[in-house]
């Protein structure tokens, strides 16, 4: 796998497994690696590709959220650059500590998965540098901004902004290879508002790096924000009219296929306050 330079000293690679994206940002003090892939083996291969850039040593790692395809390579970067700081939102560190083992054990039930053994053999390395709202990473000739815009794909999402290059690394707040992923830990009612903050960090010329898929522009992010907003507001409307959650998917039109939105609607209903939910219609 090779990196593509999408702006001044900002490189991106898409890995076939999970179609996950890793970003590297360079400055005079070294390199920052954003997301480390899904196992120690995959992380080592990624680290080799970072070295092949010949652009400097890794001085920091950033995890955009806790999911294993973005964090299980942390240990490989600690091997390659001992003691390297791993930055994340405080909730990401807590969620990874709580949930990683259960998520890894899902592979135990999938022995035919080609990555079964390497995932189960991978130790979990939890970020050691956490923040609650925002943080700046100083690379000498440029500063990188880490911002937690609010709950969305997970409770601990962050975006990384490279102001001088007008690049924003969005993690799974934005996905361009498939509809956004609404998992059991997603926050669909909060997600549109979090993307409003993300949009406020961009310009009409911004390059946005999704967690999965090719780079996009601000217009793509705005369109995806509006589609997620439709999911949230449709769920709110159905709940306010007393439509049971089990019937909600069949009771409205949705911006993506229904099978993709079952968890999204269940999570949206659960997040609505009691005052916005009527008793189910009989």
Please give the pLDDT value at position 12.
98
Please give the pLDDT value at position 8.
98
Please give the pLDDT value at position 103.
82
Please give the pLDDT value at position 260.
97
Contact 256/219 with Cβ under 8 angstroms? no
* Cα 87 from Cα 6, distance rounded (Å): 23
E strand map for 148-244:
159-162, 167-175, 207-212, 216-217
Ranges of residues in the chain with a pLDDT under 70 are 1, 279-282
Domains (range + CATH), the chain: 1-132 (3.60.15.10)
Q: Is the dihedral of CA 196, 198, 150, 194 positive or negative?
A: positive
Please give the pLDDT value at position 241.
94
Please give the pLDDT value at position 43.
98
What tokens does 118 get?
A: 């390497």
What tokens does 185 get?
A: 């830990």
Provide the 10 A C-beta neighbour count for residue 229: 18
* Cα 51 from Cα 255, distance rounded (Å): 42
Instruction: Give tens-digit pLDDT for 114-148.
Output: 998 999 999 999 999 999 999 999 999 999 999 99
Please give the pLDDT value at position 108.
80
Write down how long the chain is. 282
Please give the pLDDT value at position 279.
65
Please give the pLDDT value at position 107.
79
Please give the pLDDT value at position 1.
63
């Amino acid at each position: 796998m090779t990196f593509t330079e999408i702006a001044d000293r900002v490189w991106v690679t898409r890995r076939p497994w999970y179609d996950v994206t890793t970003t590297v940002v360079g400055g005079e003090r070294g390199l920052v690696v954003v997301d480390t892939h899904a196992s120690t083996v995959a992380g080592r291969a990624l680290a080799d590709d970072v070295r092949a850039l010949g652009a400097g040593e890794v001085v920091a790692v950033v995890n955009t959220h806790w999911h294993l395809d973005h964090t299980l390579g942390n240990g490989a970067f600690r091997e390659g650059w001992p003691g390297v700081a791993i930055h994340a939102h405080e909730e990401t560190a807590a969620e990874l500590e709580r949930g990683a083992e259960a998520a890894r054990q899902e592979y135990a039930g999938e022995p035919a998965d080609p990555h079964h053994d390497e995932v189960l053999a991978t130790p979990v390395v939890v970020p050691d540098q956490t923040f609650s709202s925002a943080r700046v990473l100083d690379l000498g000739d440029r500063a990188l901004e880490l911002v937690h815009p609010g709950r969305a794909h997970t409770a601990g999402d962050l975006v990384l902004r490279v102001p001088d290059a007008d690049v924003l690394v969005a993690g799974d707040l934005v996905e361009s290879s498939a509809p956004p992923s609404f998992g059991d830990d997603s926050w669909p009612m909060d997600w549109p508002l979090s993307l409003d903050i993300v949009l406020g960090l961009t310009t009409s010329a911004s390059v946005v790096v999704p967690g999965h898929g090719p780079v996009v522009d601000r217009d793509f992010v705005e369109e995806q924000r509006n589609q997620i907003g439709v999911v949230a507001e449709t769920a709110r409307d159905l709940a306010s009219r007393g439509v049971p959650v089990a019937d909600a998917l069949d009771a409205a039109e949705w911006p993506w296929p229904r099978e993709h939105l079952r968890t999204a609607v269940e999570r949206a209903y659960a997040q609505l306050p009691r005052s916005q939910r009527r008793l189910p219609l009989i």
